Amino acid sequence: MLDRSLQMSLNCPSYLLVRQRTLCYKRLNPVRAMPPSSVILHTDESGKFPESRKTCNSLIASLSSYDGPLLSAPNTVGILGGLSVDSTLNFLRKLVHLSKENEAKCMPFVVCSDPVLNRELSSLERSSSSLCSRNEPSQSDHTRIVENLRSKRVFLEKSGAHCIVMPCHISHSWHDEVFKGCSVHSLHMAECVARELKEAGLKPLEAGSPLRIGVLATDATLKAGFYQEKLQIEVLTETFTILKKSR
């Protein structure tokens, strides 16, 4: 279901569909002349780029001297790294697989992965009691995490992304705050799932009873409440939850 939702969401916006194959190889700048149509920049634990890698240093130097976007294709996807590198790579595999199925609509992408942010989100996931329902006052200050996510979102915008995704459930707890003022389209995981369920035209098991949809997720994701909220808005349904404890 999530795979199909990803395909539908990434292919629906018109500006993501209009693309010429030659844009993948457009060379307006030495940085863009690199063989891959996508770039992955990975920071170290201090939030800086590794200085020990000469190839990385040359790339950063080129980026610093260039004011324009890194990629210019109108269907460039920006990926804000998830809770772990594994979850980010899992999303990338699906994105690449979709591109292989239709090379004419191959989607360039830029990935922003920050180990510091990953650790903060992982710690929050483990101590899920710090996340409260949207109907309850929050006892924790997540300002630093939100600011970190927002700065990465701005980086992806400046890199030429026309659509930004976050392959991380817990990050969607602050989706509205992170993407406030964003100039490009952003995908919300819960909205994508709810939209697909709505289009599926599901019926209740018993006539006259409300449609009920189960949500399998970690404590932190369920306490954030965004899946329940989007399902109630899009599908007008009751939801029941199945807790999956974080390890």
Please name which of 210, 216, 197 lies closest in space to residue 237, comparing C-alpha atoms: 210
* pLDDT lower than 70: segments of the chain: 1-68, 128-141, 236-247
Would you list the DSSP string of 46-79?
A: TSS--TT-HHHHHHHHHHHT--S-S---TT-EEE
Q: What local confidence, expressed as pLDDT, does residue 106 receive? A: 82
Q: What local confidence, expressed as pLDDT, does residue 4 receive? A: 55
39, containing H or E segment: strand 39-42
Sequence letter at residue 28: L
Distance, CA of 180 to CA of 178 (rounded, Å) = 6
Buried residues in 138-171 as b, exposed as e (16+ CB within 10 A):
eeeebeebbebbbebbebbbebbbbbbbbbbbbb
Q: What local confidence, expressed as pLDDT, does residue 174 receive? A: 93
Distance, CA of 32 to CA of 105 (rounded, Å) = 19
Domain boundaries in the chain? 2-189, 194-244
- Look at domain 2-189 and name its CATH class: alpha beta
Q: Give this prediction's pTM.
A: 0.65
Q: What local confidence, expressed as pLDDT, does residue 183 receive? A: 93
Q: What local confidence, expressed as pLDDT, does residue 53 receive? A: 45
Q: What local confidence, expressed as pLDDT, does residue 34 receive? A: 40
